[in-house]
Amino acid sequence: MSIWTESGDFENIVLSRPRDHVAMLTLNRPRQLNAYTHALCKEVVAAIEDYLRDDGLRCLVVTGAGRAFCSGGDVSGVDGHRETLRDKQLFDGREMRDGMHRVILALARLDKPVIAMVNGPAVAGGLALALSCDIRIASDQARLGDTSGRFGLLPDEGGAWLFPRAMGLDRALKMTFLAEVYDAQEALRLGLVTEVVPHGELEARTLALAERIAGQAPLAVRLAKSMMVRGLDSTLERSLGDAQMAVLISNPTDDVEEGTKAFFEKRKPVFKGR
């Protein structure tokens, strides 16, 4: 059974299905501004992997409980984190590899769509988490940036790779050097978010977008995402080759036949994912 139906075992996240074919993953440590721990990361990875396997889910929304999206790693000392950081560097490296690094990689490898619903602060590792999603819809009350430098820390949760690709190397370096945090409109201008909406409209707008994505032909959506992501690190010739292979998979499907039939019948297509 999908954990999206039975999610009671989780302590740090909440899973829900707010619309047909739409899943929502909510980081649930509001008192800590949804700062991540090893335990939270483990639960998030399990949810992402199950979302990938569940063909009934076609779009995932990631958000945070309370007034924050994610404030990065928990530096409060929980589970002896600060002592680990100072005294056991090799162990801390394993914690990174098995913690937020697994989350970022799970999202990077995911060929199904993911929307970040940025309801509040998304900083340091929280910004890396948001940038690992395909689309970012931000509240006008959200703030985004890299605060790692304030603690003498590094953009080590994937930010060193993600930040320059979102905003350009010079702006990413400035943000990290100065530990800058931007309001939602400036984040939009810099390319850190896709869209900014009034805070009271954030959930409705995000779920409406997720529902529209979930209503598209699932295989076509997954293949289109894979083609574009691979194309970022490829040549035009290789990208065109990928397109040829993808067409051989998608064109014979029932959904292509349904889309064509619906067009001529002047109705909305009903895609079944096959």
Domain for residue 130, yes or no? yes
- The C-alpha atoms of residue 38 and residue 160 are separated, in whole angstroms, by 20
Neighbours of 70 (CB within 10 A): 30
- The C-alpha atoms of residue 123 and residue 163 are separated, in whole angstroms, by 11
CA angle in degrees (0–180, nearest 5) for 194-30-57:
55
Q: Find out whether 241 and 231 touch, Cβ atoms under 8 Å.
A: no
Answer yes or no: is pLDDT of 90 > 60: no
Same domain as 247, residue 160: no
Neighbours of 69 (CB within 10 A): 30
Q: What pLDDT score was predicted for residue 258? A: 85
Q: What is the mean pLDDT of residues 142-157?
A: 94
Please give the residue range of the domain that contains residue 100.
13-214
Domain for residue 3, yes or no? no
Average pLDDT, the chain: 91
Is 222 strand, coil or helix?
A: helix
- The C-alpha atoms of residue 93 and residue 84 are separated, in whole angstroms, by 10
Which CATH number goes with the domain that contains 230?
A: 1.10.12
State the DSSP string of 85-99.
HHH-HHHHHHHHHHT
Provide the pLDDT confidence category of residue 93 given band limits of 50, 70 and 90: low
Domain for residue 36, yes or no? yes
Domain end residue (candidates: 172, 189, 214): 214
Q: What pLDDT score was predicted for residue 96? A: 74
Q: Find out whether 246 and 228 touch, Cβ atoms under 8 Å.
A: no
Kindly report which listed range (68-77, 133-142, 165-174) carries the lowest average pLDDT score: 68-77
* Structure-token pair, residue 266: 């002047």
Domain for residue 274, yes or no? no
Same domain as 76, residue 26: yes
What's the structural domain count of the chain? 2
Provide the pLDDT confidence category of residue 236 given band limits of 50, 70 and 90: very high
- The C-alpha atoms of residue 175 and residue 189 are separated, in whole angstroms, by 14
Tens of pLDDT along 194-218?
A: 999 999 999 999 999 999 999 999 9
- The C-alpha atoms of residue 110 and residue 133 are separated, in whole angstroms, by 10
**Helix (H) or strand (E) run with residue 254 in it:** helix 254-264
59 pairs with which residues across the strands? 22
Q: What pLDDT score was predicted for residue 87? A: 54
Q: Which residues, in sequence order, are CB contacts of 50 under 8 Å at separation 6+? A: 2, 3, 4
Same domain as 166, residue 134: yes
* Structure-token pair, residue 74: 């928990």
Domain for residue 270, yes or no? no
| Sheet containing strand 114-118, strands side by side | 13-19, 22-27, 59-64, 114-118, 135-139, 195-197
* Residues across the chain: 274
